[in-house]
Amino acid sequence: MFGVAAWLSGDLAGDDERAASLGFTLHSWLGIAASAAVGLRLVWGLIGPRNARFSSWLPVTRERLRLVLEDVGTLLRFRLPERPAHQGLAGVVQSFGLIVFAWAAATGSVLFFLLEPGVRPGPSLDFVKELHKVGETLIPAFLAIHVGATIAHALAGDAGWRRMLFLSSK
């Protein structure tokens, strides 16, 4: 949620070179909250319960990649892949989301501590800003795939989205 709020407010942060603007302040605080949430998720992926750990689902082994290809085949036949959480193609989409948000969080945190509103940044900080802005295209791309897939599954009768709102999915 903080991640989406940070993404939506990103557009307001651009005029920091002129003066401390409300948009910049809003985006920096939503962004740093989102960065903390991303950080916790990364720690959870390292030391959390077994099924949340990256080592048990990141699609990097031959067997897991085989499931991904199988899911692509299923989609090409206009059917939805059905798998436990994080497995197959869903794991690729989730890894992509994590990487994109971790990137925005890491570069955004550097900006949070070094960028001064109203002061023109030097060339290296300007470069970090450019790196940060890749979120501008990659975050909506991730959200389109993620939300699109959730809607497709919901239409097919799989109410997994209810879990996000802490409702039973049965």
Of 6, 67, 90, 92, the residue at the interface with ligand HEM (CB under 6 A) is 6
- Cα Rg for the chain, rounded, in angstroms? 19
What are the angstrom distances between the C-alpha of 9 and each of 16, 68, 102, 143? 13, 34, 17, 15
Q: What is the per-residue binding string for ligand HEM in 20-59, x denoting contact by CB under 6 A?
A: -------xx--xx-xx--x---------------------
What is the C-alpha to C-alpha distance for residues 159 and 148, in angstroms, rounded to an integer? Answer: 14
Q: How far apart are the first and last CA of the chain?
A: 24
Of 38 and 89, nearer to ligand HEM (C-beta) is 38
Q: Which amino acid is located at 80 in the chain?
A: L
Of 68 and 145, nearer to ligand HEM (C-beta) is 145
- List interacting residues with ligand HEM (CB under 6 A): 3, 6-7, 10-11, 13-14, 16, 27-28, 31-32, 34-35, 38, 101, 104-105, 108-109, 111-112, 115, 129, 132-133, 135-136, 139
